[in-house]
Structures are given as C-alpha cells and as structure tokens.
C-alpha cells in the first residue's frame, strides 16, 4: 500500500479533537534512542545504516502498538510522498532528506511515528490533538519500554540515553505543543511572551516561515534541556507554561473584542473576503488569512462553521498537498490559481461573518 | 570561528543586536543557539546572553589545542569532527571526549547527571550487582569466622547470582 492510500484524509484528520484545541492544535512527545556499539547515523557508513535499519525496522513493526501500520525505507518514497509526510508533521524535514539506510514506521491512527536513522538510530514520537502531553508521553514511554527488551540501547548510568547531539542527551525527550496565537500577535504581546517563555528555558519558534516569521500565527513551544531533570518534571514544567500561554491568549482575544472590535472585525472580514473571492493566492497569504478565519470561528462569527474546515484547508492548501491533488508538478503561479479555486469552492457556503453574534472568550484574572 | 558560549564548536549562528545604542555581536554553534533559545531572534535579549557568558568562557581555550587530536577508539571520530558538526560519532565518544564535554553539558542542561527513565535491564543489572556484592561480603565474614558450611552455601548462591547477572547483560 502506498503512503497516499494509507494516510487518513485531510478532512478526517482535521476532525480530531482534544482539550484546549481552540488554541493548542497538537501535542507531541519525541524520544531519541541509539543502539550500543554502532556509529550514530550521521557518522555511520551507508552499509552500516542499511544493516541497523534491518535490525530496528522489524523490532518496531512487531510491536503490539503497531499492529496495523505503514513501513518503508526512505529511498522507496518519492519526494512528494516525503513532503506530504512533513506537511502532516509525521516526519521531520531532516528525515525527508534521508534516503538509503533510513526508514519510517507509522501506526494506523497516525498517533505513533518512528523514524529510523534520522539523526539518531530511533526518533519515536507520539502525537495527540489538543493539549495532551501526558497521554502522548505515556504512549511513547510504552513503545520505548517494549523496544528496550529487544534492542540494546546505548545508555550510561551517569548520562542516561546517549544521543548524537549533546542537546538531546539524558532523557532524549522533546516535548512540544503547536499553538495558534492570533490574539497575542494582533495585540502585539507575542514578543513579550516569547521572551518570558525563553527565559524559563523553553524554546518558542514559528512553525512555518523563515527566521522570525510565524505564518498563520502558529508557534511551537518545546523544552530545551534534557539532562538533569526527569521526564515528568519536564512535562509538568512545560504544561504550566502552556496553561499560562492559553490564559494570555484567551485574555488577549477578550480584550481585543472589548477594546478594539473594529480592528478585529476588520481583519476577520477582510480575511473572509479574500479567501472566499480571490482568484490567485500564495501559500503564505492563505495561512495568515486562514488563521484570522479560525479566530473568527472561535469568536462565533461564522455560525454553523466548524473549526475543522479551516484546519483542513490549512493542510490541503500546503504546496505538496496541492500538488498531490492536482497531479504533476505545478509551477508556483499555477499553484496559486488552483489554491484560490479550491478556497472559493470550499468557502462558497460560508456566510459573511456575523458581527452581532460575537462571543468573546471569558476573561480570567 | 568558534562559538562564543562553548568555545569548542564552529559557530553557525551569527547575531547582531543594538543594545542601548551599542552594536553587540555574538557567534554561536547550533547546539548553543538552541540551548539559549535564540533560534528566534525576537525571543531573546543579547544583553542577557552576553552577561551570562562568564563560566564556560575562561575554562576551555587551553585544553582545546590538545583535545582536537583525540580520536574515538570505537568509531574513529575526532574532536575536530565534533567542532565542525556539533554531533558525536557513537555512544563511546561520550567517554572519549568526556573532558571537553563537561562544561558544554553544564551550559546547555539543567544538570550533568541523568535522573530520568532507566531501562528495565539496567535496573535489574543494578539490583543484581548490589545483591552479588552483599553475598561476597557475607562470604568474607563466613570465612573469617571459619564457618565453612555457611561459606559453601554462599558460594553456590554467588554462582547463581553471577549467572543471573550475565544472562541479564544487554546483548
Ligand atoms: Zn557552542
Ligand atoms: Zn565514537
């Protein structure tokens, strides 16, 4: 079965719900593990990587958690297939660049993805919609406990799990949440929040775009330190930070609606106007405007329209999802036309925003 | 150019910020830039970063010269390779380059000792070796007390414990 046939459709995938999913789009916990006695993938020769893939892949494929799964070597996947997986957040950009000697095992629900021979021999991650870091941790902890029975991990009493990069040493854990923060961006509080969160030892970055850009007002918050702190302490610490960001975002939205309704409604109304009527639109503009529509849905300006519609469009208007849908390689200009066609069609039944209907989020102290 | 924080790895991130009218510059390796959270230049203050540079700064330059010659006996990775990529060659590299990694780990993590998950086999190995050590002590005492009957029993128990330990060793 090809990965295209295996993957859950964007419409279905966008319907997944979880706690706080107005703001927290998804939660992820990733563990880095290596095998003892073998060079790390970045230093290993191709023949060694092919050999270790041959040992690791069957061990992962026979896990009870992976009963129904997709597995393949990265050199068997086309560029398009790999990039679709990146756009779905199922593999890293780095992994998409790998070929012979690297592989992927993905479970049916797309909640567990194991990258083999990325920067480490194993990069396994659990994904959950909304804010569910504890659940994600439990899921991947179980996978790891199964694998340690059959794979000899590189582990030291002193330094913990040994990883290719010293930044992952110890627990090898990277906990992250994908956040939609239009309120903090519109109220120009986002830089303050980023500074505060960074000072607490966490990283904040725009998930899409280069450098300081955060297209679609989507940010990723993750832990930086992996050594000298237990997994549960790391989870508790980041959970506290996320609760605070959620609170600040809700307050920012409430304040905007109360103090600057015209500014908010202007942004949302224009976003709707362009998305529903444009005949050519770039991926960048689409993401930024969809973010505003998502905010409009959260504020109840689009009665009867589900957040899932925006989340689905967010995915299907990405360059490689678009390319897959329309076949062949589209030139960028061609892509912008198709993207606009798709948006107009999908939004034709969405009525203009109803400002009288606005429901501001409750303010918290 | 070497990283301003760890003084060990080739700098790949170059930042300039104007702090109170004075232009400040800093050059960081990938790992340190991640550890300091400066992937996103809006999210940090260069002034804070420069202030915090004290500890690791003075320690390393002297050792750096000689350690760059060291090569990992297990995988052939050199300290110069580490400087270039910020990655290590294999698990044994952590022992090979232990001296120069110390200050680096201190600057990027909360502590320098692992306090998280322990693989089950490691836990058992730890328990079995503790049990074995206790048996050896008892045996010494029994011999000292010339209790040879007891000593014979203990020797059998030690044999079993040793067997368990070797069976449990990761393959
Ligand atoms: Zn550095
Ligand atoms: Zn090595």
pLDDT of B19: 58
Measure the CA–CA gap between A274 and B160, rounded to whole angstroms: 77
Q: Do B37 and A119 touch (CB under 8 A)?
A: no
Averaged confidence pLDDT in chain A: 95
d(CA A309, CA B16): 42
Note the pLDDT tens digit of each residue in B12-52.
888 776 655 666 778 888 877 777 666 554 445 554 555 44
Decide if B37 and A201 are in contact by the 8 Å CB cutoff. Answer: yes
Of A61-70, A265-274, A310-319, B38-47, the range with the lowest mean pLDDT is: B38-47
Which residue of B85, B109, B117 is in closest CB contact with A228?
B109
Q: What is the pLDDT of residue B18?
A: 62
State mean pLDDT over A168-175: 97
Q: What is the pLDDT of residue B62?
A: 46
- pLDDT at residue B59, as a whole number: 42
**DSSP string computed for A39-97:** B-TTTS-HHHHHHHHHHHHHHHHTSGGGSSEEEEEGGGS-HHHHHHHHHTTSS-HHHHT
pLDDT score recorded for residue A128:
97
pTM score of the predicted model? 0.84
CA–CA dist B107, B53 (Å, integer): 9
ipTM score of complex: 0.89
pLDDT digits (tens, 9 = 90+) for A327-341: 777 888 899 999 999
**Cα B100 to ligand 1 centre (Å):** 12
pLDDT greater at residue A129 or residue B59:
A129
| Full DSSP string of A251-315 | HHHHHHHHH-HHHHHHHHHHHHHHHHH-SS--HHHHHHHHHHHHHHHHTT-STT--HHHHHHHHH
Please tell me if residue B51 touches chain A, with a CB cutoff of 8 Å.
Answer: no
Least confidently predicted of A176-185, A207-216, A342-351? A207-216
- pLDDT at site B56: 41
Q: Is the pLDDT of residue A365 over 70?
A: no
Tens digits of residue pLDDT in A9-33: 999 999 999 999 999 999 999 999 9
Share the mean pLDDT of chain B.
79
Instruction: Report yes or no: A64 at the B interface, CB cutoff 8 Å.
Output: no
Q: Check if the beta carbon of residue A33 is closer than 8 Å to that of residue A122.
A: yes
**The pLDDT value given to residue A108:** 95
pLDDT of res. A294? 98
**In this predicted model, what pLDDT tens digit does every residue of B134-161 receive, in sequence order?**
999 999 999 999 999 999 999 999 998 8
**Which of A152, A202, A228 shows the shortest C-beta gap to B111?**
A228
- Indicate yes or no: CB of A229 within 8 angstroms of CB of B89: no
pLDDT score for A212: 67
Chain A, window 221-260: residues with a beta carbon less than 8 angstroms from a chain B beta carbon: 224-231
Q: Residue B12: what pLDDT?
A: 83
Provide the CB-side half-sphere exposure for A2 (13 A, CA). Answer: 8
In percent, how much of chain B has pLDDT > 70? 73
Residue A219 near chain B (CB below 8 Å): no
Mean pLDDT of A301-308: 95
Residue B65 confidence (pLDDT): 53
- pLDDT confidence of residue B50: 53
Q: Does A151 touch chain B (CB under 8 A)?
A: no
How much distance in Å is there from the Cα of B82 to the middle of ligand 2? 10
């Amino acid at each position: 079965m090809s990965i295209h046939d295996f993957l859950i459709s964007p419409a279905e995938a966008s319907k997944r719900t979880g706690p706080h999913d107005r703001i927290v789009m998804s939660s992820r916990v990733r563990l880095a593990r290596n095998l003892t006695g073998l060079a790390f993938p970045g230093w290993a020769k191709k023949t060694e990587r092919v050999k270790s893939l041959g040992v690791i892949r069957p061990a992962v494929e026979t896990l009870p958690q992976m009963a129904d799964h997709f597995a393949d070597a990265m050199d068997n996947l086309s560029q398009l297939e790999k990039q679709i997986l990146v756009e779905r957040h199922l593999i890293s950009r780095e992994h998409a660049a790998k070929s012979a000697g690297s592989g992927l095992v993905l479970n049916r629900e797309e909640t567990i993805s194991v990258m083999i021979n990325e920067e480490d021999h194993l990069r396994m991650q659990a994904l959950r919609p909304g804010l569910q870091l504890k659940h994600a941790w439990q899921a991947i902890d179980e996978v790891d406990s199964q694998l340690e029975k059959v794979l000899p991990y590189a582990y030291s009493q002193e330094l913990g799990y040994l990883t290719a990069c010293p930044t992952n040493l110890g627990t090898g854990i990277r906990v992250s949440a994908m956040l939609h923060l239009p309120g903090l961006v519109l109220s120009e509080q986002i830089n303050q929040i980023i500074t505060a969160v960074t000072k607490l030892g966490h990283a904040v970055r725009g998930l899409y775009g280069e450098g300081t850009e955060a297209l679609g007002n989507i940010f990723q918050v993750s832990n930086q330190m992996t050594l000298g702190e237990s997994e549960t302490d790391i989870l508790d610490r980041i959970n506290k930070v996320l609760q605070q960001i959620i609170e600040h975002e809700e307050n920012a939205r409430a304040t905007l609606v109360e103090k600057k309704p015209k500014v908010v409604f202007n942004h949302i109304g224009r976003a709707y106007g362009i998305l529903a009527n444009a005949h050519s639109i770039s991926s960048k503009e689409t993401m930024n405007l969809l973010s505003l529509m998502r905010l409009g849905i959260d504020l109840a300006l689009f009665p009867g329209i589900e957040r899932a519609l925006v989340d689905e469009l967010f995915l299907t208007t990405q360059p490689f999802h678009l390319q897959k849908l329309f076949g062949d390689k589209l030139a960028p200009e061609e892509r912008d036309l198709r993207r606009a066609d798709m948006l107009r069609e999908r939004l034709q039944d969405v009525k203009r925003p109803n400002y009288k209907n606005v429901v501001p989020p409750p303010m918290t102290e | 150019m070497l990283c301003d924080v760890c003084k060990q790895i080739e700098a790949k991130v170059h930042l300039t910020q104007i702090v109170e009218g004075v232009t400040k510059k800093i050059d960081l390796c990938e790992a340190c830039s991640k550890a300091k959270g400066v992937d996103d230049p809006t999210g940090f203050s260069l002034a804070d970063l420069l202030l915090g540079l004290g500890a690791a700064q003075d320690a390393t330059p002297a050792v750096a010269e000689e350690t760059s010659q060291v090569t990992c006996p297990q995988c052939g990775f050199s300290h110069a390779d580490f400087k270039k990529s910020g990655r290590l060659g294999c698990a044994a590299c952590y022992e090979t380059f232990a001296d120069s990694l110390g200050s680096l780990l201190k600057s990027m993590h909360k502590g320098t000792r692992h306090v998280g998950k322990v693989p089950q086999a490691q836990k058992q190995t730890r328990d079995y070796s503790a049990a074995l050590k206790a048996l050896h002590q008892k045996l010494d005492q029994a011999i000292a007390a010339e209790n040879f009957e007891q000593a014979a029993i203990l020797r059998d128990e030690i044999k079993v414990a040793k067997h368990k330990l070797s069976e449990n060793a990761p393959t």
